[in-house]
Amino acid sequence: MTDTSSTRRTVRVELGDRSYDILIGPGLIAAAGSEIAARLKGRRIAIVTDAHVGPVYLDPFMRSLADKGIEAVSLVLPAGEKTKSFEHLMTVCDSVLGARIERNDAVVALGGGVIGDLTGFAAGIVRRGSRFIQVPTSLLAQVDSSVGGKTGINSRHGKNLIGVFHQPDLVLADTDVLDTLSPREFRAGYAEVAKYGLIDKPDFFAWLEKNWKDIFSGGAARIEAIATSCQAKADVVAADERENGLRALLNLGHTFGHALEAATEYDSRRLVHGEGVAIGMVLAHQFSARMNLASPDAARRVEAHLKDVGLPVSMREIPGELPPAERLMDAIAQDKKVKSGKLTFILTRGIGQSFVADDVPASEVLSFLKDKYLR
C-alpha cells in the first residue's frame, strides 16, 4: 500500500480554544476513522450526505469509522442548491436528535457546499451547538465553504440569508475525490481558488495562470493550490471570524454572483455557484475600471484567465433569459453585504488589490448592469 501521509498538508485555523486542523491530501476518507477517533471524545456520529455523493463515498467512510469503534447513522438528502431550505434543515435536525447525538459526539457533512452549509447550520442549533466535522467532496467546498464556520440556508429573499457562525472541529479534504468531479464542477470550484489570488495575492494569481493545467490534471500543483487557498482563508478567519471587516474581502465577486444565482432561481442547469462567482469577479473588476479605480487591463486579464479554464465570464453566457436590470438590483439590495441600506461591494485597484467599498451609488451599478446586456 502506498503511504499517502507524506503527501498530505495541514493548515491550522487559529481561533484559540476553537482552533482546528484542515487536512489536505489523498486517502483521507479511508483514514477518516483514525483522524476523527484521535479528536473525538464521543463514539457516535450522524452523517449527512446527498444522493450524488452518498452512493460513492458513504460506505467507505462508514467502514473507516467502524474500524475505529465509532458508531454512525446516515441521512441522504436530494442533491442541489434547493436542498438548502427550512424543510431539509428540519429533516437534518430531527435525524440528529433521533440518533441521540450528544455534545461529545459529532455531526458530519459528507458532500459539497450545499451539504456543508445545511449540516453546519443544523449542528450549530441542535442542542445549542453540536460538534461538527466537514468532509468536503467538491473543490469549491474544500477551498471555501468548508472552512470558516459560515453556515446557512437560502430564503426566497436571497442566498445564505438565514444561518449561524459555527466552526467545524476538523476538516478532511480528500483530494482523491476530486478526480470524480465533472469538468464543470471542478471549474466551478477553481473560481474560488482564483479568488484568493485576486483578493491580495497577485503572485498566487500569476502562479495559477502558469500552472492551472497541472491543477486540473491533479498531482502536486493541485494540493499546493488547495493548501494555499485554505491558508489564505484561515488567515482571514483568524483575524475576522464574524465578518466585521477584513473577512468581507472573501466575498469578491459574490454580490454580483449571488444576484445572478437568484435570477436563475438556483437552477444548476443554468448556473452553479462557482460560475456565478467567476462572472461576478469579472464584473467587479470591470465595474472598478468603470469607476476609475483600476486599469481595464486588470479586468481583461481576469476575464482571459477564467475564460482559458472554461468558466463563463459574462452574463450573456448564462442559458435562458435573465430578468431586467432593475430586478437584479433588487437581489443585490437584499444581499447580506448591504449595511444600513447602502450598497457595499468588494472592488479592486488591480490584480490582488481588492478592498471594501461602502456606499457604492446604486445608480452607477444599475447603469453598469444595463450596459452588460440586461434588458
**Residue 229's domain is classified under what CATH number?**
1.20.1090.10
Examine the pLDDT at 1 and tell me if it is beyond 60.
no
Please give the residue that has the higher pLDDT: either 214 or 375: 214
Residue 6's pLDDT band, with cuts at 50, 70 and 90, is low
CA distance 309 to 209: 9
Assess whether 156 and 27 both reside in one domain. Answer: yes
Assess whether 141 and 274 both reside in one domain. Answer: no
* Mean pLDDT (whole number) for 324-349: 81
- Amino acid 4: pLDDT: 57
Assess whether 172 and 191 both reside in one domain. Answer: no
- Amino acid 66: pLDDT: 97
Assess whether 288 and 263 both reside in one domain. Answer: yes
The amino acid sitting at 44 is R
Residue 133's pLDDT band, with cuts at 50, 70 and 90, is very high
- Amino acid 13: pLDDT: 97
pTM of the predicted protein model:
0.91
Residue 333's pLDDT band, with cuts at 50, 70 and 90, is confident
- Residues whose CB falls within 8 Å of the CB of residue 199, separated by 6 or more in sequence, listed in order: 232, 249, 250, 252, 346, 352, 354
Assess whether 132 and 225 both reside in one domain. Answer: no
* Mean pLDDT (whole number) for 300-324: 96
Domain termination site, one of 160, 180, 200: 180
Q: Poorest-confidence range of 106-120, 214-228, 240-254?
A: 240-254
Assigned C-alpha cell, 204: 498566487
pLDDT tens string 45-75: 999 999 999 999 999 999 999 999 999 999 9
Assess whether 157 and 267 both reside in one domain. Answer: no
Assess whether 313 and 333 both reside in one domain. Answer: yes
Angle 113-125/86-98 helices, nearest 10 degrees? 60
Quickly count: other Cβ atoms within 10 Å of residue 319's Cβ.
11
CA distance 180 to 102: 34
Assess whether 144 and 216 both reside in one domain. Answer: no
Which candidate, 106, 98, 94, places its Cα nearest to that of 45? 106
Domain termination site, one of 164, 180, 196: 180
* Mean pLDDT (whole number) for 230-235: 96
- Amino acid 163: pLDDT: 96
Residue 248: which domain range? 187-371
**Active-site positions?**
128, 150, 192, 233, 243, 247, 251, 254, 258, 273
Assess whether 265 and 366 both reside in one domain. Answer: yes
Examine the pLDDT at 3 and tell me if it is beyond 50.
no
- Residues whose CB falls within 8 Å of the CB of residue 278, separated by 6 or more in sequence, listed in order: 188, 191, 194, 253, 257, 306, 311, 312, 313
Domain termination site, one of 150, 180, 210: 180
Query: How many domains, the chain?
Result: 2
Assess whether 317 and 202 both reside in one domain. Answer: yes
* Mean pLDDT (whole number) for 322-341: 78
pLDDT tens string 146-190: 999 999 999 888 888 899 999 999 999 999 999 999 999 999 999
- Amino acid 330: pLDDT: 86
Assess whether 287 and 354 both reside in one domain. Answer: yes
Beta-strand pair 158-162/71-77: unpaired
Please give the residue that has the higher pLDDT: either 359 or 15: 15
Strands (E), 17-70: 20-25, 44-50
CATH number at residue 145: 3.40.50.1970
Residue 311's pLDDT band, with cuts at 50, 70 and 90, is very high
CA distances from 140 to 144, 181, 222 (A): 6, 11, 13
CA distance 324 to 15: 44
Examine the pLDDT at 112 and tell me if it is beyond 70.
yes
What are the φ/ψ torsions at residue 28 (nearest 5 degrees)? -80, -25
